[in-house]
Structure 1
Amino acid sequence: MIIRIIDGITEFTGKLCAWTLFAVGFFITFEVLMRYVFNAPTIWVDEISRVLQVWVVYLGAAYVLKHREMVTIDVLLSNPNSVWRRLAETLAIIVLFIFAGTACYFGFQLWLKATMAGHTTDTYLAPPKMITHAPVWVGSALLMLQGAAQLYRVWAEPLPSDDVMGGAH
C-alpha cells in the first residue's frame, strides 16, 4: 500500500516535470518572439525558467529512479535475479540514501534559514529564496522515498532485465 502511494507521488511529479519543461520551452519561445520580433524583451522569462528547471531536476530524479533509467553498467552482474545483483542494487541504493539524505538535511536547513529571514534573490523580480531552495530538500526527500520503494522491490520482486541492446524501453 505505501509503495503504491510513493509510486503514485513519483509518477505525478514526473509527469508534472514533463509539463513544466513544456512550459519552459513555451516561455523561452515567447521571449525570443518578444525580444527579436517586437523588440520588447520580458523581465521574467529567464528567472522563472531557471527556477522551474531546478525544480524539474530535483523532482525528476525519483521518477528516473522508479523507471530504472539511471546509468547502470551490468557487464558482470547481468543476471537480474542473482544474489550478487541484488546486493549490488542494495549498495547503490544505500549510497543514494547517503547523498540524498545529506542534500535533504542541509537543503532543509538552508531553506528554513532563508524562509525565516525572508530572503529574496538579488534579481529584478526578487522572488523569495524559499522557492529556489525548496527543490533541493523536497526532491531529495522524494528520491529517498522512491529509493526505499526500490529497495523493497530488489528483495521482494524479480528484478527486470536491463537488456539495453534488446530493444527500446
Structure 2
Amino acid sequence: MRAISAFMNGVTKVNEWVGRILAYLVIPIFVFILIEVFLRYLFNAPTVWTNELTQMLFGLYAVLSGGYILAHRGHVNVDIFHATLPRRVQATVDIFTSVLFFIFVMAFGWFGYEMAKESIATWETSYSAWNPPIWPIKLAIPIGAGLLLLQGIVKLIQDIAIALGVKCPNADETGEAGDTL
C-alpha cells in the first residue's frame, strides 16, 4: 500500500509542478498579444511572429496541463445527475466511465507520439514567414498524454478506494488530491 501511495503522491506532485509552471505561460501570451495590438493598431506595423508564438505557447499550455487539471477535478463534466449521487456511487460510475478516458488518452498518446516522431525526424518548421521549429510543440503532445494517463491511473485508484469504502490517503472526501502532497 505504501508503494501505491508513493506512486500516487509522486504522479500528483509532478503534475502539480508542471501545472504551476505552465500557469506562468499566460503572462508571456498576454504580453505578446499586447505587443501585437499596439504595433498593429497604433503604429500600423504588425509583426510576423507574435500570433504564431502565442499559438505555440497556448498549445504547450493546453497539452501539458491535462494532468494538473485532472488532479484538481477541473475537466468539464456533465454533472446534472452525477453531482446528486452519493460519493461512493459517483466513484463507481467514474470507474466504469474511466474505460472511455483511457481509450481517449491512449489514442491521444499514440497519435501524438507518431506525429512527434515524424516531426522530429524532419526537424519540422511552420513554413511561415517567421518559420520557427514546431517539433518541440509536437513533442509536448505525447508527454502531455503521458502525464494525463498517469494522473488518470491515480484517479482510478482513488475511485476504487472510495467505491470500496477504503480510506485513500491521497484524496479528500471529494476525491480531489489532498494535502498529503
TM-score, normalized by length of structure 2? 0.79
- For 2:154, the equivalent position in structure 1 comes to 149
- Residue aligning to 1:14: 19
Residue pairs, 1:27-106, within 5 angstroms: 27-72=32-77, 73=79, 75=81, 78-82=85-89, 85-106=90-111
Whether the 8 Å contact between 1:14 and 1:63 is mirrored in structure 2 is yes
Are the counterparts in 1 of residues 159 and 175 from structure 2 also a CA contact under 8 Å? no
Please say which of residues 122-131 and 102-111 is displaced more in the overlay.
122-131
Per mean C-alpha deviation after superposition, the further-off stretch among 133-142 and 68-77 is 68-77
Alpha-carbon distance in structure 1 between the residues aligned to 2:76 and 2:119:
34
**Displacement of 1:159:** 4.5
Q: 1:147 to 1:97 in 2, by over 3 A?
A: same
Amino acid at match of 1:126: N
The separation in 2 between residues aligned to 1:51 and 1:32, in whole angstroms, is 18
TM-score by length of 1: 0.84
Q: Is the 8 A contact 1:103 1:140 kept in 2?
A: yes
Contact 1:34 1:40 in 2 (8 A): yes
RMSD across aligned positions (CA): 2.0
Gap regions ≥5 residues in structure 2 = 1-5, 162-167, 177-181
Q: Does 1:130 align with 2:144?
A: no
Identity level (%): 24
Between Structure 1 and Structure 2, how many residues are aligned? 160
1:165 equivalent in structure 2: none
- Structure 1 runs not aligned, ≥5 long: 163-169
2:115 is aligned with 1:110: yes
Moved over 3 A (4+): none
